[in-house]
Amino acid sequence: MKNILLIILVTISIISVGQTIEREVISSNGNFYSNSAGQLSTTLGEIIISTVSSSINTLTQGFHQTQITVTNIKDHQTDFEMNVYPNPTSNFITIKVKELKEKTSFSIYTVEGKMILSNSLTLLETKLNVVTFAKGNYFLKITQDKKIIKTYKIIKQ
């Protein structure tokens, strides 16, 4: 009886500690396409595995590489805590700081470097209207005493 119990316990422990292997591709090239009809990701060098569906379309030809969006670009001052949301956005963004320090301001720049909005942060939570911004990427820079302390990438949809 002890041997059977020992075999059962060993089997359960082996099954519960099993590992899964994620499929990954390290590729030198690929792209991501998107429009109102759907999205398509491509990666050069994938092993072909077929998956075809219908009814709201699913196509998988290989291992899917997701699109990664980085929003916090540079953290110049790590003790200044803040959140910027929602991102991506279409109407507004909210800048929420944990503690408001003197002479803290924000500026929003286009990818070409043109400043399109700038103001002081006077509240712990500041809501910015971005409805009039064109669709695309923008950079939100937070400054304190004219020194950049945080930089975020804002995606306007």
Q: Is residue 84 part of a domain?
A: yes
Residue-range definition of the domain harbouring residue 63: 29-68
Same domain, 63 and 132: no
Q: Considering 68, 90, 121, which residue would you say is the last residue of a domain?
A: 68
Coil, helix or strand at residue 25: coil
Same domain, 76 and 37: no
Residue 150: pLDDT band with limits 50, 70, 90: confident
Q: How far is CA 121 from the centre of its chain?
A: 25
Q: Is residue 92 part of a domain?
A: yes
> What's the structural domain count of the chain?
2
Find which of 4-13, 52-61, 77-86 is predicted with most confidence, using mean pLDDT. 77-86
Same domain, 55 and 89: no
Q: pTM of the prediction?
A: 0.53
Q: What is the CATH number of the domain that holds 124?
A: 2.60.40.10
Give the whole-angstrom CA distance, residue 114 versus residue 138.
10
Give residue-wise pLDDT tens across range 93-124: 999 988 888 888 999 999 888 999 999 998 99
Q: Is residue 132 part of a domain?
A: yes
Residue 3: pLDDT band with limits 50, 70, 90: confident
Q: Is residue 115 part of a domain?
A: yes
Q: Is residue 87 part of a domain?
A: yes
Residue 19: CB atoms within 10 Å: 4
Beta bridge pairs of residue 38 = 35
Give residue-wise pLDDT tens across range 76-90: 666 778 888 888 888
Q: How much of the chain exceeds pLDDT 90, in percent?
A: 21
* Residues near 67 by beta carbon (within 8 Å), at least 6 away in sequence: 32, 39, 41
